[in-house]
Amino acid sequence: MRTRRLDGTAPPPADPDARWLAAVMHVTFLVLLASSMARYVHRHEDEARAPWVIALAVVLAALYVVGPLCERSRTAAPCLTWLGGVVAVWGVLVALAPSFSWVAVPLFYVALRRLPPVAAYVLVAVLTVFVIVAQLQLARRFDLDLVVGPAAVAGFATAIFTHLQRQSARQRTLIDDLVRTRRELAATERREGTLAERQRLAMEIHDTLAQGLSSQQMLLQAADRVWECDPVKARAHVRTAESVAEHNLTEARRFVHDLAPADLARGGSLDEALRTLAARESGEHLTVHVHIDGGGRTSPLPDRVRSALLRIAQGALANVREHSGAATAALTLTLLDDRAVLDIADDGHGFDPTALPGTPSGSRGHGLPAIRARVHQLGGTLTIESAPDEGTVLTAAVPLEPRP
């Protein structure tokens, strides 16, 4: 159960150490009260006021024990009434029997724990004055030690408890900051994950659906141009467009289910997938050659590497077909011990590499940024060598082991 502050402020979170300290103080209060009553009975049992003192001591013990019940109330009034009753009964008891004055020490803790700081300091000062007066009354003479001692104990106890409270508040603030930072970090990671997924989807759409639709458009436009003069050739273009549409539909289904590229999902190797891609991209205006240099490697490539290299080849050939005006292109896959290198070369009109996205002089389409992003995700490097009227060579080198 949390302690309810009497100023109406929210109580601090439950702390095992605070509960332990509260239990110690409760036991200390009851022990001091019992020892004071035993001392009084031993020395003053024949006095007429002894029954009143004993009765007040029992009332004080009972009143103190029911204190935690007020914490269940949603208002501060019950706790304030309870603390006022405890202090009042103790004050009357000390007036009748000064030996009960040291019971005030645990009450310091109760006041500092339950009251606002200023009110707690005032109550501690009042209790300390009661203790000093009671001790001087017991001594029947003025003794500086009896004045300084209780005041020092009260000041020391107040300083220690205030320090612990402030330290606990700083720790709670630090914990709140850490929790808030962790939540902000989690939100940032979710946003970054969302952006990464959007980028992945954009690359997948560009490398599959968009390229297929572009090929179909070009084939249908070519068929439309020769439909009257060369129906056989036009129908060939339409059949090719139908084949591209069928492959595009397969890619779309794989894409929806987040599976590997269709050419790899059929169980084929990367070599076969690249040759299939080259055959599909080859046509009347472009011929694509494939060269594989396995370097004696027998173990299969990781799935992520195979899928990424095929997507890179698809994107690069789409750029060759749509932008380069090349008649010939070559795919060269070189497998080394620690990395795979894919070269895509064409004899097109080339371009200025400084005009790529992220450079000061403008930008091209989505294809090259998507290829660069794929290579970066695998921890690889992308090199583009090109110049106007000199063709283009794109080289993607990716490690075969995951990045640390």
Q: What is the pLDDT of residue 266?
A: 59
pLDDT the model gives residue 365: 47
Its pTM stands at 0.44
- Quick one: which of 386, 366, 385 has its CA closest to 318? 366
The pLDDT assigned to 358 comes to 47
Pair 306, 264: CB distance under 8 Å: yes
Pick from 381, 296, 369, 370: which is nearest to 342 by CA? 381
Closest-CA residue to 258 (of 326, 197, 315): 197
Task: Show the low-confidence residues of the chain (pLDDT under 50).
Answer: 1-4, 6-14, 358-365
The backbone torsions φ and ψ at residue 13, rounded to the nearest 5 degrees and listed phi first, read: -60, 150
Write b or e for each residue in 181-220: b if 16 or more Cβ atoms lie within 10 A of its Cβ, otherwise e. eeeeeeeeeeeeeeeeeeeeeebbbbbbebbbeebbebbe
CB 380 within 8 Å of CB 339 = yes
For residue 383, count other CB atoms closer than 10 A to its CB. Answer: 13
DSSP bridge pairs for 288: 329
pLDDT for position 328: 92
Q: How far apart are CA 205 and CA 255, in angstroms?
A: 8
DSSP lists the bridge partners of residue 341 as: 334, 397
Neighbours of 266 (CB within 10 A): 12
Residues 251, 210: Cα–Cα separation, whole Å: 11
What pLDDT was estimated at residue 397?
92
Query: pLDDT value at position 343?
Result: 93
Structural domains for the chain: 16-142 (no CATH), 268-404 (3.30.565.10)
Residue 166: Cβ-neighbour burial (10 angstroms; 0-12, 13-18, 19+):
exposed
pLDDT of residue 396: 93
- Relative to beta strand 381-386, strand 392-399 is antiparallel
Residues 6+ apart with CB under 8 A from 107: 29, 86, 87, 90, 127
- Count Cα atoms within 13 angstroms, Cβ side, for 47: 12
How far apart (Å, rounded) are the C-alpha atoms in residues 146 and 138? 10
pLDDT tens-digit readout, 259-283:
556 667 655 688 888 998 888 888 7
